[in-house]
Each structure stands twice: as C-alpha cells, then as structure tokens.
Chains A and B, each alone.
Chain A
C-alpha cells in the first residue's frame, strides 16, 4: 500500500512539476520575445532619425 501511494505521488508530483516547468519556459521565452521586439522597434526608430 505504501508503494502504491509513493508511486502515484511520484507520478503526479513529477508530471505537475514538468507542466509547471514548461509553463515557466513558455513565459520566459515570451518575455524574451517581447523585449527583443521592443529592442528592434527602438533601433528602427533610431535608424530613421539618423
């Protein structure tokens, strides 16, 4: 019985941790995309002025 509980908790903790990690990665990459986009616009604006 103890092994059953251990097995189920390992699977569910593991899967939820993995889901959370993926969500974090997606958020991190989204943030990176936004900052890069802002950077590009900034530079383009600077180029036009020059």
Chain B
C-alpha cells in the first residue's frame, strides 16, 4: 500500500503515471487482441484442414493441435507465478503480486481445458479417458490441484497484504514441487511394463504440415495466454484502485 503513505502533492504525479500505465495496458490489450483474432482462425484452419490426417489415429489426432499448447502454457504460466512471487516478496511491489494472481488464474483455466481435451482424446484413441500411468497426465493433474488451492487461498484471504504474501509462499512452494511430483509419479508406475504403450504414441516424426499447424497453434495460444493474463491483471489493478479509494473515503469521513 505504498501510495497511501505518499504526501498529497505527489499523488497527482502518481495519478498521471498510473493513467499512463493504464493507457499502455489498454494499447497492449488491443494489439494482443488483434493478433490473437488473426492467428486463431489460421490455427484452427491449419489444425482441421491443412494438416494431414494421421494414418494411425485418424481425425482424433487433430486434437493434439490444441492439446499440446494448452499443456505447455500452464507450465509457462506457473513459472511466471513462481518468478513474480519471488519478486513480490523481495521487492514488495504489489504489481508482481497481481501478475502472479493473474497468471495463476489463466494457468488454471488452460490446465482445466487441457485436461478435458486430453480426456476426450484418450477416450477417442485409447478407449478410456484417464490413465494414472501416464506421468505427464498425472503431473499436470497434481499441478492443477496445487494451483486450485492457490486460487482458493487467494479467495479466502481477500485483498490483504498478508494474504498476498501467503499466496506468494504457496506460489514458490508449489512450483518447486513440479519436478519432485514428476519423478515420483514416473517411478510410481514405471515398474509395471504393461503401461509403456501410453508414454509415446509414435508422434515423433510429424510431417511438415503438421509441424506448421502445431507451431501456429502454439503461437496463437501463447498470444491468448498473454492477452488473458493482461486482462485479468487489468481487472485486478482496477479492483485495488477501487478499494484504495474506498479506504480514503472512509478516512475522510472519520476525520470530519
């Protein structure tokens, strides 16, 4: 709550700086929105029409063009949460806290969609939606649980500064867990030989058209991740501004 401590004569300068920042945020949102709007139809077209039909899996394989970006981006999002949490505890600047919050939320949304899409693909190709033996699936699921608990913690602590610090601690502790979870779930089932068929389904040698589709889709989803994060961040800044103003209003009434 740095701005509350500042003297009245600097608040106007601060307000113009904030307005400047809000304007840049808006320009960024518009640019990202246009970019995503152009790339997304291309990505969908490439995934559904341009890429060749998989010889083994048939059309179900086209799910991977959304599944893979949705699976990789949560790791990026949660890494952003991790870094922003450290920076928040270190620098005590609330912007890092809001970035961590926004990125965690978008990460959870992407992970949720990825899990649903993955289950549909599993049902279509393996004949069953879920398999605990696939370490990537299990790791991502546990990751999802950790960040759901992160959002719950944020929900329960509201907008307090202490709550932000506690969430930062969870954001750090949660990301450090990722490699440990991955090792444990890999070793957990790797002893059973009958589950190896899931680990790789022979998609290593993709034809160039498929690689192109995957690449476009990945770029489009990355733009979407940045756009959504910026938007959530934007809503959080507005929320803080409203709360701060309300606190000031209460100060005014208590003084009179």
Query: Is there a direct interface between A and B, measured as CB atoms under 8 Å apart in the complex?
Result: yes
Residue positions of A touching B, CB distance < 8 A: 1-4, 6-8, 10-11, 14-15, 18-19, 22-23, 25-26, 29-30, 32-33, 36-37, 39-40, 43-44, 46-47, 50
> In the bound complex, how far is the Cα of B159 from the Cα of A32, in angstroms?
16
Q: Is the CB of B245 within 8 A of A6?
A: no
Known contacts A10-B113, A47-B256; A36/B249 CB under 8 A: yes
Q: Is the CB of B238 within 8 A of A30?
A: yes
Mark interface residues in B79-118 (1 if CB within 8 Å of A CB, else 0). 0000000000000000000000000000001001100110
14 contacts across the A-B interface (CB closer than 8 A): A3-B120, A4-B124, A7-B66, A8-B48, A19-B231, A22-B231, A25-B235, A26-B231, A29-B238, A32-B239, A33-B238, A36-B246, A39-B246, A40-B248
Question: Closest approach, in angstroms, between the C-beta of A21 and any C-beta of chain B?
Answer: 10
Kindly list chain A residues whose C-beta atoms are within 8 Å of the C-beta of B255.
47
Tally chain B residues at the interface, Cβ within 8 Å: 37
> In the bound complex, how far is the Cα of B204 from the Cα of A12, in angstroms?
27
A-B contact count (CB 8 A): 87
Question: Closest approach, in angstroms, between the C-beta of B127 and any C-beta of chain A?
Answer: 11
Q: Is the CB of A40 within 8 A of B235?
A: no
Known contacts A4-B60, A11-B70, A50-B256; A33/B231 CB under 8 A: no
Question: Closest approach, in angstroms, between the C-beta of A39 and any C-beta of chain B?
Answer: 6
Kindly list chain A residues whose C-beta atoms are within 8 Å of the C-beta of B241.
33
Q: Does B228 contact A (CB under 8 A)?
A: yes
Kindly list chain A residues whose C-beta atoms are within 8 Å of the C-beta of B224.
15
Q: Does B218 contact A (CB under 8 A)?
A: no
Q: Does B232 contact A (CB under 8 A)?
A: yes
Q: Is the CB of B252 within 8 A of A47?
A: yes
Residue positions of B touching A, CB distance < 8 A: 44, 48, 58-60, 62-63, 66-67, 70, 109, 112-113, 116-117, 120-121, 123-124, 224, 228, 231-232, 234-235, 238-239, 241-242, 245-246, 248-249, 252-253, 255-256
> In the bound complex, how far is the Cα of B252 from the Cα of A1, in angstroms?
63
Q: Is the CB of B117 within 8 A of A11?
A: yes
> In the bound complex, how far is the Cα of B253 from the Cα of A31, in angstroms?
22
Most buried by B among A7, A14, A22: A7
Kindly list chain A residues whose C-beta atoms are within 8 Å of the C-beta of B48.
8
A-B contacts besides A4-B62, A29-B235, A44-B252, 10 pairs, CB < 8 Å: A8-B63, A10-B113, A10-B120, A11-B66, A11-B113, A15-B224, A33-B238, A37-B245, A39-B249, A43-B253
Question: Closest approach, in angstroms, between the C-beta of A13 and any C-beta of chain B?
Answer: 10
> In the bound complex, how far is the Cα of B33 from the Cα of A19, in angstroms?
11
Kindly list chain B residues whose C-beta atoms are within 8 Å of the C-beta of A15.
109, 113, 224
Q: Is the CB of A22 within 8 A of B60?
A: no
> In the bound complex, how far is the Cα of B70 from the Cα of A10, in angstroms?
13
